[in-house]
Structure 1
Amino acid sequence: MRVLGLALSTLRARRKSFVGPFVALFLSAMLVAACGLLMESGIRQGIGPERYAGADLVVTAQQSLAVDVDYDEPFGGRVRLPVSAVDELAAIPGVERAVGDVEVRLGAVGPSGDLAGAIDGRPPVGHGWSSATLGPFALAQGDGPTAPGQVVLDGALAARLAVGVGDDVTLAVGSTPGEYRVTGTVSPPEGAGALRQGVVFFTDEQVADLAVAGPGTSGRPGAADARGEVDAVGILAADGTDVRALAADVRERTGLTVRTGDARGAVEFADASGSATTLVAIAGSFGGIMLVVVVFVVASALGLVVQQRRRELALLRAVGATPRQVRRMISAEMLVLSTTAAVPGALLGIPAVGVLHGLFVRAGVVSADYPVAVGPLPVVIAVLLTVGVAWIAGRMSARRAITVKPVEALGEAAVETPRLGVTRTVIGVVMVVGGVFLSLLPAFVAGEDALAGAALSGVVLVIAVALLGPRIVHALVLLVEPFLRRSPHASTYLAGRSTRASSRRLAGAVVPLVLAITVTVVQVSLGAAQVAETERQVADGLRADLVLASSGTGLSPDLAGQVAGVPGVASVTPTVRSQALVRFAEPDGTLTAEALSVQGVDPADLGAAIDLDVREGSTDDLHGESVALSVAGASKARAGLGDTVELYLADGTRVDAVVVALYGRGMGFGDALLPRDLVLPASADGLDGSLLVVAQEETDVEALAEDLGRTTTPYPGVVLADRASLVAAEKAALEANTWTSMILLVVLFGYVALNVANALVMSTVDRRRELALLRLVGTRDRQVLRMMRVEAGVVVGIAVVVATVILLPPLTGVSLGLSEGQRAVPALSPVAYLATVAGAGAVGYLSMLLPTRAALRGRPVESSGRREGRAGVARPRDAMVRGRTTRPAWPCPRAGPPTG
């Protein structure tokens, strides 16, 4: 209790000195809590059910691949159940009724002839009429569908399409339209409110046909097999049945995935799973970087406070305080300060996560209706982490004052030295070597892991700079100081001598600035380099003259044949984008899986449409169970030419594919290419994503585009683009994805900049007596301002130089990784670099000059007479015994004038 009382007295007496650390800890707790709440939202939160709101259970097939890790890898598509599963589930005791559900994404044609009816980009979905009971949806008008060509719409969708009972409506599956008669409308389930996705009900027989073919088409490959499948089964429990017990029984009997409560919504809304994955990824990546930054910022802020108290701690040692007593005092101070700051800061993380969520929604990476989870656990963890970091940082900052002899401590309090401990120096050198090694990984290893290592090397090098900071800053000051000393201006001379004598103080300001510049520039440059490399690969690799795509759900498989018959068309290459998992055994025998971005293609005229930069093998052999891998994809799959890889398509279908080619343009055209006949049946809708059209020689491409436009007029949602337009659209889509990183980096830079400003302001304010003494001996105010401007320039200049040097290895590694070893020019974004340096420079200059101007307003005699810590310094006499403080009875001058 005595130690706690002494800590409270010291905090009260030095409250102005602790403002900076308080702000750093407060903001740290807020941002860590916000990251934790984002993580919790991705893990626990979800969108409640609408169409399944009346079902007690929703049963699906296993939607992920089992591997020997803590979590399974999702397939990325939908694994269906055989229709026989409906009868098997209905026979389980406690089940009153089991209803199979089939989903078909639709394009609805509005009054203007364009696709309409989508809500926030989600197109309407079609289902069988029997599944309406799972809502339950009640007829508001008319009757249910009883024959092919009849549909029932939800009331809101009917209003958006301007149709009513008895009217005809045009609905398209893929790009193939069909005319249907509206026989009725339904109202949403009770309590559901407005539906987040339009609903159309067909007869059960017709929706099964549409799921595998579409109106007027010959069907996709595998259509006969798909006709006997359902997407999910909704179960209505018998009266009096315990739903939880029934769910456990169904799970045990069948081994299928059973969902209850809000988890049923994940079956309905695939974008909910995407939002959850995005939030977890954002929180994980940003939270990891944030923790590293928090450690730096908090350690720097607390280190500055302890440094300002060097003389006080030395005197405590000199009058008999033991290292254990001083350590306990500082630990108690850190616990009180960090707890006082962390608790309100963590609570403020709750509204902060709402702001971040809103920004992510505006950037289009999270669904607008995906809710944020607010629970106590992330807030508690944020408080504990912040308090723990502060406690450790405080003890480490005071370690030297505790371990040295009292007389030596008094000497060090008067004069700063750049000396570092052997352990700290060795660790710093090891971190330098490790950072350079990580940055060079892409030169020897392909794949995302090496690229991530190169990006991470920047943080490792910043840690090395933090450890070796005083030495680095002292060495750079020794290079600059002779030039300053030769200046005819006395203020410049004083600035040179001051910076030479205060390398540790300068290092405390330089390291956070280096951190802000390095992290921001590396992350922005990484995103910009990825966009530029993808754009370059698409531009260099796309040979097709025209591209047909869909603004709706996709292109019907039969459309390729019709386009191929247009005069002037040399070849048509249909493509379908999907995902696949590759499973393999690690050297220790552990099974793991990696996700691959996949394109299904027709290899017949592939070379005429796309130049993949094939390195080994040939895409002409892409038939049957075979695969072509990019260099990065081969690294993920741990496979080479001629190897057989274990692939799982989006619907869970296993394919043991032989690697027939390796190509270089993976960022532009995906990690892997598979035969279209394999990928199309496994995709969610069995629809093509685009058609690559190559014109015959001497054919006027503009005239051909007009002919194709007339040919595709009857097909709603079909969009025609030329090569340049496609490249521009691809670039725009990628740049939209970088907004997430930009939002987080702005937050991160603002956090670091604010705390750097706090540290510099505290450091400058602490020099008021020094500035007053300069004025008393004849130095003019403008000379003092010039001296501080020079010092600010030295601080910012050293930070920029050090940051630039440690930027080169990671950005060179990023360039090597993205170009797959072809280019070693640092992938530096000039705009990001100049903007970040300008921001850091403005923070440095303003944080030193504004407090200086404020200090110059007072009379120098009054300022020079102030004792150190006018707000109060604990008097050592009897303090360690009685736990109380008073104003010191002796003056506590600062370490000498800047002239050394």
Structure 2
Amino acid sequence: MLSLALLTLKARKGGFTGTFVALLLGAAVLSACGMLLESGIRAGSSPERYAAADAVVAGRQEVELTLKDLDGSTLKEAQPLPERVPLAASVADRIAGVDGVRSVIADIGASVRLVTGDGQPVAGRHGSAPEAHNWSGLPLGDFRLTAGHAPRTAGEIALDTEIAGRAGIRPGDEVRLMTTSVPRTFEVAGLVTLKDGRAPRRSVAFMSEPALRQLAPAPSVYAFGVLAAPGTSPERLADGIKAALDDDTLAVHTGEGRGRVEFLDITVSGSNLVVLAAAVGGNVMLIAVFVLFATTSLSIRHRRREIALLRAIGTTPGQIRRMVAAEAAVTGLVAGALGCPVGLALVYWLRDRFAGHGIVPPDFGLAISPLPFLAAVLVTVLTALVAVLSASGRATRIRPTEALGEAALEAPGLGRGRKVAGGVLLVLAAGIFAAGLAQNADFFTLVGLANSLVLLLVIAVAVLGPLVSRAAVRLLGPLANRTGVTGFLAAANTQANAGRLAGAITPLVLAVAFASTVVFTQTTGLRESADQLRSGLVADHVLTAPSGVSPELADKVRAMKQVRSATGIVKSKVVAVGRLLGAEASVSLSAQGVDPRALGTALDLRSRAGDLTTLSDTSVAISTTTASWLGLGVGDTARLYLGDGTPFRGQVVAVYERGFGFADVTLEHDLLLAHTTRKVDASVLVRSDPKASVIPEVLSDVAADYPGTVLRDGLAVDDQLTEQQANAWVNYLVVGLIIAYTAITVVNTLAMSTGARRREFALLRLSGTARRQVVGMMRRETVIVIVAGVGIGTLLSAFPLILVSLALSDSPWPAVSGLGCLAIAGATAVLAAAGMMVPTRVLLRIRPVEAIGGQE
């Protein structure tokens, strides 16, 4: 069978082109997603400050939750933590008693902002904030002193040569550093660099521990570096420390794991990348199944005469299935092997785009191994096999005596199985839509229902394709008939070949439905967030800084006579357990910390229940979406994990409506601030006294003490939507990949369908039909396909978008832009026209007498 399959592939190269291209592109995207997934799991960077440590003990940067499934069984799930988990100083004593430990050195650190003598802020490498660390921790790392001397007093520091060079600083110069207070002046005692001369990945300053505690009143113990006694291996040392600590909240790292402890931004972005890669890969895999089923179905349909002849001369169904399976396996194997190099180029392009939108650091390294390539090839081959065996079922089941007759004409209707399956899918879709409308479901449930709904509707259209295409022809055929002979031919052709028309319409429906649903879900979310921000921000002025605002600035502003109220806004995330469709699920929620006295005056979250002004360090306020998701109301106890993993139990004192614009959870300012890594505010909101004058000038004078802080009249909405816009961009990327993949396969599918009509075109021309009439017929058929595909796809997207809009705004009207609709419809129309008209013109160049006798 393999030799016969190879001969068939050689003889029918054109017929297999569409399937081959679809498989190649699928393998490229899947291998790229596999590399992103592996990179996220293995995310890390070579250690620098911990390079000399044999083992590093740090807080476990994830919280493990026990969840209940629908059947009552329990499972454990880990959620990554965005803030660095602090360590207690007493941990060092427990480590020191472990056999094989030579010494334990604490790494104490704090995020700082560096200011030159002339008041200019200096950003750290890669735009991140520099870090200050204790000089006593230098032996843990790979740094060496290159100029000057070590810091000897509380007024001296050592800088790395890279940031010192950018700031134009030399030993003996003065610099200012600030964390949570006004800048303090230090003398640069010396310069340090990595031993191999490289610039450190993150800009760093070293100082004595007393100086560090003066600069940052509550510096964190980032980790404990452990140096092993002679003859003790790092692995043995790590095992001994784990056994001695016996604490699930602590983790012991060796080797490359030390880099993951040192560079938290890579660890957090790696966790995000895992989720992102899985989502993109899952969507592409889903699309690939649809597309490949469509292309292989067309390929099998175009080979009906060949298969019928084989059946007529005694070939068994099993032999035909083995033949087409061998063809699919060879095609999938070759396409997968050629698609992997394309995926390698794609993954680097994606990494650069992610870095540009802040999803991963600019220097995020990719982990490249053979595993994603092997997995992509395997999935490609299996997908091709499943698609071709499913599509060839009917062709291999017909009896030999009926084979040639079955091949001559298209089957008049759908099989009973497809009708039943399509009906069940439509009933399920209707039930999901009705449930979404009838239930007071939370945001996550409604979005989940919307995603399931669009999927069910697209599958239903694919299963009931011929019926859908006939319905489209009944509506559009009379209009085509009015355009003359060519219109009559187009209507007759589409009506007689409903299966072929369905194969052309289904990919268009798929592209339009998915693209419209994802794009307009994002526009609806951004509209609601922007509206809530504009309505909820009642402050007159906003103080911001690129690297954050010192929290004491809000206290100074609040004490001014011209100010009615002021609050710093600190941003973080919390982890909670909610319910999704009856089962428990973990979720990461956005959190903000505010001064309760400013709620209602500088910030209006629109309370639906309870009293926001009673917020304290033992209570919490939550958005309506979060309340529904967690099943909580006023008076209930919320069980949360703060960004650094600290458990928090607080009474819900209020439920508010403007969660999409601000945050899912609102906590007391100082409470949340204490559990963040950088311990700075994102901004300060100021509401002036109505009788005050010259308030901007006074605020500017106060802000001048904190270099880099700027005063704005009102909040720039786009600046506050950065995270939402980044999430929207990711979803647009998913849509872009889907559309790009679907676009090429749409052209392939339509080109295959049109290319198989060579004999039909030749017969029309030999019977007296002019070439321009054939072209006119195909133009009208193209219009029918485009109108049907775009119309049905748009209709299908309306139902999930209604559910999404209800989830976001309690209104059934999503934010659908006319320009967006035109872009989606226009791109689809161009692709469909190219897929049908280009092959038509190519086929019409062949002489009819040659085409009529050519291969099918």
Q: TM class by shorter-chain length? A: over 0.9
Q: Aligned to 2:705, what secondary structure does the other structure show?
A: coil
CA distance in 2, matches of 1:776, 1:591: 68
1:809-824 maps to which residues of 2 (within 5 A)?
809-819=799-809, 822-824=810-812
Q: Does residue 694 in structure 1 map to residue 694 in structure 2?
A: no
Tell me by how many angstroms 1:798 deviates: 0.7
1:376 paired residue number: 370
Residues 579, 629 of structure 2: 8 Å contact kept: no
Confirm or deny: 8 A CA contact 1:618 1:661 kept in the other structure: yes
Q: Distance in 2 between matches of 1:143 and 1:284?
A: 50
Taking the aligned partners of 2:154 and 2:596, their CA distance within structure 1 comes to 37
Task: Say whether the 8 Å CA contact 1:50–1:192 is kept in structure 2.
Answer: no
Q: Does 1:834 align with 2:840?
A: no
Rate the CA distance shift 1:662–1:353 in 2: closer, same or farther, 3 A.
same
Query: 2:498 — aligned with what?
Result: 503
Deviation of 1:478 (Å): 2.1
Return the alpha-carbon distance in structure 1 between the equivalents of residues 435 and 721 of structure 2: 27
* CA distance in structure 2 between the aligned counterparts of 1:683 and 1:513, rounded to whole angstroms: 48
Residue 736 of structure 1: how far off its partner (Å):
4.5
Report Cα offsets for 1:609-644 as digits up to 9, x if no partner. Answer: 222121111112212411111011113323222111
Show the counterpart of 1:857. 845
Q: Alignment identity in percent?
A: 39
CA positional deviation for 1:521: 1.8
Q: Does 1:319 align with 2:330?
A: no
- Does residue 231 (structure 1) correspond to residue 222 (structure 2)? The answer is yes
C-alpha contact (below 8 Å) 1:547/1:726 kept by paired residues? no
In 2, distance between residues paired with 1:160 and 1:104?
A: 21
- In 1, the alpha carbon distance for the partners of 2:831 and 2:710 equals 49
CA contact (8 A) 2:607 2:654 kept: yes
| Residue 77 (structure 1) aligned to one of 72, 83, 95 | 83
Distance in 1, matches of 2:123 and 2:376, equals 43
**Partner residue, 2:233:** 242
1:435 and 2:429 are equivalent in the alignment = yes
Within the candidate set 268, 274, 292, 2:286 is matched to: 292
In structure 2, give the amino acid aligned to 1:602. Answer: D
* Alpha-carbon separation, structure 2, partners of 1:597 and 1:354: 30
Q: 2:204 maps to what in 1?
A: 199
Partner of 1:530: 525
* 1:451, distance to aligned residue in structure 2 (A): 1.6
Distance 1:806 1:544, change over 3 A: same
What residue number does 2:130 align with? 124
How far does residue 583 in structure 1 lie from its aligned partner after superposition? 4.4
Task: Tell me the secondary structure at the aligned position of residue 779 of structure 1.
Answer: coil
Q: SS state of the match for residue 153, structure 2?
A: coil
Q: Any idea what SS the aligned residue of 2:106 has?
A: strand
Alignment RMSD (CA, Å): 2.1
CA shift, 1:648, in A, is: 2.0
Give the C-alpha shift of residue 564 in structure 1. 2.0
Residue 177 of structure 1 is aligned with which of 156, 165, 183? 183
**Does the C-alpha gap of structure 1 residues 110 and 677 become closer, same or farther in structure 2, counting only changes over 3 Å?**
closer
Partner of 2:681, secondary structure, is: coil
The reply to whether residue 473 of structure 1 matches residue 469 of structure 2 is yes
Question: In the alignment, is the contact (CA less than 8 A) between 1:811 and 1:827 conserved in 2?
Answer: no
1:711 correspondence with 2:716: no
Deviation of the 1:63 alpha carbon? 2.9
Distance change in 2, residues 1:382/1:586 (3 Å):
closer
Name the amino acid aligned to 1:240: G
8 A contact 1:417–1:503 mirrored in 2: no
C-alpha distance in 2 between matches for 1:240 and 1:192: 30
Shift of 1:426: 2.2
Structure 2 counterpart of 1:334, from 328, 333, 355 = 328
How many angstroms apart in 2 are the aligned matches of 1:586 and 1:467? 29
Q: Give the 3-state SS of the residue equivalent to 1:102 in structure 2.
A: strand
1:510-564 alpha-carbon deviations (Å, 9 max, x no partner): 1111111111221111222221111111011111111122222x33332222112
Q: Paired residue for 2:736, among 725, 736, 746?
A: 746
The one-letter code sitting in structure 2 at the alignment partner of 1:793 is V
Secondary structure at the aligned position of 1:185 is classed as strand
Q: Give the partner amino acid of 1:31.
A: V
- C-alpha separation between the residues in 2 aligned to 1:284 and 1:191? 38
Moved >6 Å (runs of 4+):
584-588
SS of residue in 2 equivalent to 1:16 = helix
Q: 1:328 to 1:470 in 2, by over 3 A?
A: same
* 626-635 vs 416-425, which moves further: 416-425
Residue in 1 aligned with 2:595?
602
Equivalence map 1:503-582=2 (5 Å): 503-552=498-547, 554-582=548-576
Q: Give the 3 Å change call, closer, same or farther, for CA 401–662 of structure 1 in structure 2.
A: same
SS at match of 2:645: coil
Letter in 2 for 1:52: Y
The one-letter amino acid of 1:500's match is: Q
SS of the aligned residue for 1:778 comes to coil
Q: Which moved more, 1:741-750 or 1:386-395?
A: 741-750
1:365 maps onto 2:359 in alignment:
yes
Q: Does the C-alpha gap of structure 1 residues 308 and 593 become closer, same or farther in structure 2, counting only changes over 3 Å?
A: closer
Which one of 455, 462, 465 corresponds to residue 459 of structure 1? 455
Structure 2 unpaired stretches of 5+: 67-74
- Partner residue in 1 for 2:104: 98
Contact 1:647 1:656 in 2 (8 A): yes
Corresponding residue to 2:170 among 157, 164, 176: 164
* 8 Å Cα contact 1:51-1:134 kept in structure 2: yes
Q: Which residue of 2 aligns with 1:897?
A: none
Give yes or no for the alignment of 1:799 onto 2:807. Answer: no
Unmatched tracts of structure 1, length 5 or more:
214-225, 870-900
Tell me the secondary structure at the aligned position of residue 5 of structure 2.
helix
Q: Does the C-alpha gap of structure 1 residues 44 and 728 become closer, same or farther in structure 2, counting only changes over 3 Å?
A: closer
**Structure-2 residue corresponding to 1:446:** 442
Counterpart residue type for residue 19 of structure 1 = T
CA distance in 1, matches of 2:357, 2:610: 41
**1:399 and 2:387 aligned:** no
Q: Which of 777, 780, 783 matches 2:767? A: 777
TM-score (norm 2): 0.95
Q: Distance in 2 between matches of 1:418 and 1:174?
A: 77
After superposition, what is the alpha-carbon deviation per residue over 1:366-391, rounded to whole angstroms, capped at 9, x for unaligned?
Answer: 21211111111111111111111111
Aligned partner letter, 1:543? V
Offset at residue 17 of structure 1 (A) = 1.1
Q: CA deviation at 1:739?
A: 2.8
Name the CA distance, whole Å, in 1 between partners of 2:783 and 2:324: 34
SS in 2 for 1:551: strand
Aligned to 1:721: 712
1:123 and 1:198 in contact (8 A); partners too: yes
Measured after TM superposition, the shift of residue 172 of structure 1 is 1.2
Q: Aligned in 2, Cα 1:613/1:408: closer, same or farther, shift over 3 Å? A: farther
Letter in 1 for 2:795: V
Instruction: Tell me the alpha carbon deviations over residues 678-706 of structure 1, each in whole angstroms, 9 at most, x when there is no partner.
Output: 21222223333322111112445xx3222
Change (3 A) 1:359 1:64: closer
Partner-residue secondary structure (3-state), 1:636: helix
For 1:551 and 1:71, how far apart are their aligned partners in 2? 35
Find the aligned partners of 1:501 and 1:111 in 2 and give their Cα distance: 83
Amino acid at match of 1:193: R
Letter in structure 1 aligned against 2:556: Q
8 Å CA contact 2:64–2:76 kept in 1: the answer is no
Query: For 1:827-884, what per-residue CA distance to the aligned partner results, in whole angstroms no more than 9, with x for missing partners?
Result: 3243332111111101111221111112222222222232x33xxxxxxxxxxxxxxx
Amino acid at match of 2:470: H
Letter in 2 for 1:753: A
What is aligned with 1:253? 244
Counterpart for residue 652 of structure 1: 645
SS of corresponding position for 1:608:
coil
Moved more, 270-279 or 437-446: 437-446
After TM superposition, give the deviation of residue 175 of structure 1 in Å. 5.2
Distance change in 2, residues 1:441/1:107 (3 Å): farther
Aligned partner of residue 15 in structure 2, secondary structure? coil
Distance in 2, matches of 1:278 and 1:697, equals 45
Q: Give 1:599's aligned amino acid.
A: Q
For the residue of structure 1 that corresponds to 2:192, the secondary structure is strand
What are the within-5 Å matches in structure 2 for residues 577-588 of structure 1? 577-583=571-577
